[in-house]
Amino acid sequence: MAAAAAWVRAVFLAAVAASAAEALSLDAHHRYSATVREWAGRHTGPPAGTAEYYAALAGHDLRRRSLASAQGEVAFADGNDTYRLNDFGFLHYAVVALGTPNVTFLVALDTGSDLFWVPCDCIKCAPLESPTYGNLKFDVYSPQKSSTSRKVPCSSNLCDQQSSCRSSSSSCPYNIEYLSDNTSSSGVLVEDLLYLITEYGQQKIVTAPITFGCGQVQTGSFLGNAAPNGLLGLGMDSKSVPSLLASDGVTANSFSMCFGEDGHGRINFGDTGSSDQQETPLNIYKQNPYYNISISGAMVGSKSIDAEFSAIVDSGTSFTALSDPMYTEITSSFNSQVKDKPSQLDSSLPFEFCYSVSSKGSINPPNISLTAKGGSVFPVNDPIITITDTASNPLGYCLAMMKSEGVNLIGENFMSGLKIVFDRERKVLGWKKFDCYSVDNSSKLPVSPNPSAVPPKPAMGPNSYTPEAAKGASPNGTQVNVLQPSASSSLKLHFNIFIAAALLFLVIL
């Protein structure tokens, strides 16, 4: 996450939801990034670039895989920065504010799950402080302490577990199981205000009533390093935050995530993309609601490869994983065109194709790109990882792809340097090369906040948005399986078995 000072932004929430059209967003980081190291006040974990560093990241990925409109853009009130945090499970994290008075959480951002939950009236939750958190200290939510909190009754159409209700007026229970060492979250659904801010022009606070899980009992990895402060689902179900914001008229039914090469990114709700982006249709499967696209081929160096397969675009996976025949086609073509000498480099690395650096010290691997359905080209800006010693001297590099069985995942490394637009209204995935620190005004649309939203208290400045309040760690590549099996949950089971071990910050490695 950004340095503590970055969290203490002088965000004064003085007005009710604005009627002017603006965008809403927030920031995300990676735990081993320099920014997060400074913010957490410590320098733990293997040095960036070393074999141990990439082995740790890939190890989490493998376990994760086994777990197998008319409005404008908005961001979380604390900003649209996101942070890939290694210690907390290979996900991107962001700071969110809930309730009146507000309480802030550092939550994992997961495009592969739907429900947003935070630790709440805890019976069994992760500790608020821990040596593994560095200087971070977490908060918990309590419905009794928020004047705008409301229970979600069993009669709500968002209640999936009505069979467990005593009556239609009872609080709706939830129970989500993650296939990571008996990892789960359970509690009741509540509704409260989520604080957002318009992204462009004059910044204005927007309050949106959001349904989320009051997570009273967490088990498994959530009691340790994975998502100790909550998980924010970005999936396609009606319970996900993008779905709720769109249904309430807060934003368009679309959002974007930008993946910086340094682990620092951005998320913007309501971003419908721009006319100059590349795009491809989303494959919509009711029983398998992932952001799934079709790939028709690839270009590796000078060689064109024909192959048809579908892949899940997964922001919570660090390294791309493909099954055969595409894995072998791409890696073999890459290997045949590399001029450097093959080298194992380190036995802990999970990558099959690694090379030593030439005497000149230059690295010029073949370029890689994917061709999506419709002909759009998805550029892979960073297909390799460079292995360095503790002094940052290059020792070699590897093609950062892993072989999977039956599941194809386009991971974060293939999205590096791109802004990805998840347009659920048009049912397309869009992308363009982008500097995450730039402003893109191409899709600015008017915001229509819900007029019934309860305004925040007049003052919500630095005293409320403190680093302590913004603390958090989120789930590692957690693929959520809502109880009540379906085709979608069986798929998550298939590849969540590999991902189960990712821990500590959101997309932390």
Q: Are 154 and 148 in contact (CB under 8 A)?
A: no
- Residue 356 tokens, joined: 């030593």
Report how far apart, in Å, the C-alpha atoms of 159 and of each of 65, 140, 212, 242, 286 are: 28, 23, 11, 18, 18
* CA distance between the termini of the chain: 13
- Residue 90 tokens, joined: 């290979």
Nearest Cα residue to 186 out of 178, 196, 195, 197 = 178
81, 87, 110, 160: which is the annotated catalytic residue?
110
Q: Are 188 and 90 in contact (CB under 8 A)?
A: no
Q: Is 314 a catalytic residue?
A: yes
DSSP, res 150:
E
How many degrees, rounded to 5, is the angle at CA 37 between CA 33 and CA 39?
115
The C-alpha atoms of residue 405 and residue 220 are separated, in whole angstroms, by 26
Q: Are 52 and 348 in contact (CB under 8 A)?
A: yes
Q: Is 110 a catalytic residue?
A: yes
The C-alpha atoms of residue 214 and residue 143 are separated, in whole angstroms, by 8
The C-alpha atoms of residue 201 and residue 294 are separated, in whole angstroms, by 37
Report how far apart, in Å, the C-alpha atoms of 255 and of each of 258, 265, 350 are: 10, 13, 33
DSSP, res 98:
E
114, 160, 314, 382: which is the annotated catalytic residue?
314
Point out the residues that are catalytic: 110, 314
